Structure 1
Amino acid sequence: MPLVTINVWQGLPENQIDQIQQATHACLVKAWGIPDNGGYYLINERPQSRMQIDRTMWGIERSNQPPILLQITSSPRSAEMKTSFYKLLAGEFARLGFRPEDLFISITPSNPEDWSFGNGIAQLLNGAQTTESSSD
């Protein structure tokens, strides 16, 4: 299950924050095949002065609208899975009224031993999952 940190400007309406989280989750389910009940989300609201983003880097013209920065930690995913996720999420954000140009995503891969979902157990290591967690 990925750990997703969503960084937005303070003051973004609660319903928009919910839309961002729900769209992100739906696209991860579709692109990466995570379970519907999978994923962990941390939402950080930051003052505008604390999110410094170049407005024209890589030929992208960002707006003065609030940027959305996603930091995802996950077991390794293929380049195809990552690019599929980027495309799906940009399309979903556009549908919701957010500019895809204002979406920034960074994915950090991790190994099975880097995760403990509770009880001091590395559940992703060699069958260490309990019967309860393996049904997810």
Structure 2
Amino acid sequence: MPLVSIHVIRDQRSPSELRNLADVIHHCILENFNAPLGDRYQVITQHQPNELIIEDTGLNIPRTDKIVLLQIYQQGRETKVKQQLFEALARELNGKCGLKGSDLVVSLVANSKEDWSFGYGKAQFLTGEL
């Protein structure tokens, strides 16, 4: 059950472009993380240009105002699967959204089943409901 935070700069994309971006990200997660079809939790946050500061860690990666920062909270996938997701995101976001690979930053955050409640104050992974 990945939770995806999508951070972009405000007014760089239309509402339909933002939806397409979110849809492509979700498709990549379904394909690479084997998430169930109805398992979609995404938050899109738009920032003022001065509120999203993303440099290149000395890698000489050019950034533009089309930058996308993804934080994906997930339950421990293997290294190979994570690398496949990174590659799929770069390829699919470029092909379907025109996003340059230099404008994509992804951070995976691992958590565990006891870290989730989907409602009603229950930990559904632990109660056996999921």
TM-score, normalization: structure 1? 0.88
5+ long unaligned stretches in structure 2:
none
1: CA distance, partners of 2:34 / 2:64: 34
Name 2:82's counterpart in structure 1: 82
Name 1:34's counterpart in structure 2: 35
Identical-pair percentage: 27
* Cα distance per residue 1:74-124 (max 9 Å; x no partner): 111111111110000100011021101100011110011110111111111
2:27 alignment partner AA: A
Q: Note the C-alpha offset of 1:73.
A: 0.9
Q: Note the C-alpha offset of 1:58.
A: 4.8
Verify: 1:108 aligned to 2:118, yes or no: no
5+ long unaligned stretches in structure 1:
none
Question: Helix, strand or coil for the counterpart of 1:83?
Answer: helix
1:41 alignment partner AA: Q
Question: Helix, strand or coil for the counterpart of 1:49?
Answer: helix
1: CA distance, partners of 2:63 / 2:70: 17
Larger deviation, residues 58-67 vs 113-122: 58-67
Name 1:45's counterpart in structure 2: 46
Name 1:70's counterpart in structure 2: 70
Name 1:129's counterpart in structure 2: 128
Are 2:76 and 2:112, in contact at CA under 8 Å, matched by a contact in 1? yes
1:99 alignment partner AA: K
Are 1:60 and 1:101, in contact at CA under 8 Å, matched by a contact in 2? no
Q: What's the RMSD between the two structures over aligned residues? A: 1.3
2: CA distance, partners of 1:2 / 1:64: 27
Q: Note the C-alpha offset of 1:64.
A: 2.3
1: CA distance, partners of 2:41 / 2:58: 30
